[in-house]
Amino acid sequence: MMGIFMDQLAILSLAMPLAFPTALALDYDPVSFGIVVTNTVEIGLLTPPLGLKVYVAAAQTGVPLCKIFRGILPFLAMEMLILLLLLCFPQITLWLPSLMLR
């Protein structure tokens, strides 16, 4: 919801000082939390009204914004599915780092 009014850097600057300690207090893994936050920022960069990646793509290609926003819908759906999987199964994010400890 914050993405409707602010860009991603402002959201991270305002929300992380509160959200990160809360996540740690709830015993959520910091690596998983960072990946979920990164994924939500990625989604925010694609969705209107501040979908900065879409505006950059429109400026560079000359394609109208409405056409680009329609074109990103499948990618946005997959990003939402990935976010859902990361939230339901946080061990997905920890599998690769756990291989480094061996």
Q: Which of 85, 57, 25 is nearest to 93 (CA)?
A: 85
pLDDT attached to residue 98:
82
74 backbone dihedrals φ, ψ, rounded to 5°: -65, -40
Given this model, what pLDDT does residue 24 score? 95
- pLDDT for 94: 85
pLDDT tens string, the chain, 102 residues long: the values are 777 778 888 888 999 999 999 999 999 989 899 999 999 988 888 887 778 888 899 999 999 988 998 999 999 999 999 999 999 998 888 888 788 876
pLDDT of 44 reads: 85
- For residue 49, what pLDDT is reported? 78
The DSSP line for 5-58 is TS-HHHHHHHHHHHHHHHHHHTT--HHHHHHHHHHHHHHHHHSSSS-HHHHHHH
- Inter-residue contact 42 to 86 (CB < 8 Å): no
State pTM to two decimals: 0.81
Q: Which residues contact 92 (CB under 8 A, 6 or more apart)?
A: 85, 86
pLDDT score of 21: 96
* pLDDT score of 5: 75
